[in-house]
Amino acid sequence: MIRIHKPKKAPQKLTRDGKQKCQSHCEAYSLNPSAYENNKEKFDFASSIYAHESVKEALIKAQHQKCYLCERIIGKNGDVEHFRPKGAYQQAQGEPLRYPAYYWLAYTWENLYLSCPSCNSRHKKNLFPLRDPNKRATNHSQRITKEIPLFIDCGKENPEDFIGFRAEYAYAIDGNKRGQITIDYLGLNSEDLIESRRQRLNDLRKLNKILIAAIEDPHNQKLQGLANEIKVHLETSLADSAVFAAAARCAIRTKFQESDLI
What per-residue confidence (pLDDT) applies to 258? 57
Given a cut of 50, whether residue 262 has pLDDT beyond it is: no
Q: What is the pLDDT of residues 7-39, one digit of tens each?
A: 999 999 999 999 999 999 999 999 999 999 999
Given a cut of 50, whether residue 261 has pLDDT beyond it is: no
Given a cut of 90, whether residue 130 has pLDDT beyond it is: yes
Q: Tell me the H-state helices in the chain.
A: 12-13, 19-31, 33-37, 47-50, 53-62, 117, 177-185, 191-216, 221-236, 245-253
Q: At what angle do helices 191-216 and 245-253 cross, to 10 degrees?
A: 40
Contact 246, 159 (CB under 8 A): yes
What per-residue confidence (pLDDT) applies to 206? 93
Given a cut of 70, whether residue 144 has pLDDT beyond it is: yes
Q: At what angle do helices 191-216 and 221-236 cross, to 10 degrees?
A: 140
Distances (CA, A) of 51 to 48, 112, 128, 212, 213: 6, 9, 20, 47, 49
Contact 155, 125 (CB under 8 A): no
Report, as an integer, the average pLDDT of 45-71: 98
What per-residue confidence (pLDDT) applies to 260? 41
CA dist., res. 202 & res. 125, Å (int):
31
Given a cut of 90, whether residue 243 has pLDDT beyond it is: yes
Given a cut of 80, whether residue 259 has pLDDT beyond it is: no
Whole-model pTM: value is 0.92
Report, as an integer, the average pLDDT of 42-57: 97
What per-residue confidence (pLDDT) applies to 246? 98
Contacts of 68 (CB under 8 A, 6+ apart): 1, 4, 81, 113, 114, 115, 154
Q: What is the pLDDT of residues 159-194, one digit of tens each?
A: 999 999 999 999 999 999 999 999 999 999 999 999
What is the residue-averaged pLDDT of the chain?
94
Q: What is the pLDDT of residues 186-241, one digit of tens each?
A: 999 999 999 999 999 999 999 999 888 888 888 888 888 888 889 999 999 999 99
Q: What is the pLDDT of residues 70-106, one digit of tens each?
A: 999 999 999 999 999 999 999 999 999 999 999 999 9
